[in-house]
Chain A
Amino acid sequence: GDSVTQMEGPVTLSEEAFLTINCTYTATGYPSLFWYVQYPGEGLQLLLKATKADDKGSNKGFEATYRKETTSFHLEKGSVQVSDSAVYFCALTLGVGNNDMRFGAGTRLTVKP
């Protein structure tokens, strides 16, 4: 079935380090792809999205490019801050609706000063 696979965490980085969190997907059609972020004690919130191949989603310094040839949607940030410490979820939907959304297991990021 349709699914996403994320790199296992936890990931620990120093402030200003470069971040990559890998996400690959399996889908029978052409999905829309999302990154959600969950800060400590809060619910998930949408970070960025891409709806078709080669689209780049970006927000708060984070970027992810929809790569159809490698079925990937890796999350990157050039210089992380302590405030970026959170759990990051990759997700996909085939566009039927939010009831169709599939989430990855999440990757916990800790940024140390």
Chain B
Amino acid sequence: NAGVTQTPKFQVLKTGQSMTLQCAQDMNHEYMSWYRQDPGMGLRLIHYSVGAGITDQGEVPNGYNVSRSTTEDFPLRLLSAAPSQTSVYFCASSYGALSPLHFGNGTRLTVT
């Protein structure tokens, strides 16, 4: 039972580069989301999805895009990386919008 799988675990980008953080879950969860974790600030919601084909913005969406073409996958795209996007990124999913969240192990991103 893999749960929520995030790749890569670590990534270093130069300012202006683009990349996609991958997230996949095998629990048939409808709800998926992306958070960033910064020191002293807890987790902040970037984007979320309540089902395939449906996405919406969270608290800090600027500079990020998402899509949800399948139930299993919810990739996060950085369009033009900036040093302010240096952070640890977590993908999470839940059976329904009010069910407990299941988190991946995170991606540590550094933008130089």
Contact = CB atoms under 8 A, between A and B. Distances in A.
B43 A103 contact: yes
B42 A43 contact: no
Contact of B45 (A4, A99, A104, A105): A99
A106 B33 contact: no
B97 A43 contact: no
Interface residues of A, number: 23
A14 B62 CA distance: 43
Given A99-B48, A99-B56, A89 B43 contact: yes
Contacts, number: 60
Interface in B9-27: none
Q: Which of B50, B94, B99, B103 has the most CB of A within 10 A?
A: B103
B41 interface: yes
Interface of A: 4, 36, 38, 41-46, 49, 89, 93, 95-99, 101-106
Closest 4 CB pairs of A and B: A43-B103, A97-B97, A103-B42, A103-B43
15 contacts: A43-B92, A43-B103, A44-B103, A45-B103, A46-B101, A89-B42, A96-B97, A98-B97, A98-B99, A99-B33, A99-B56, A101-B45, A101-B101, A105-B40, A106-B42
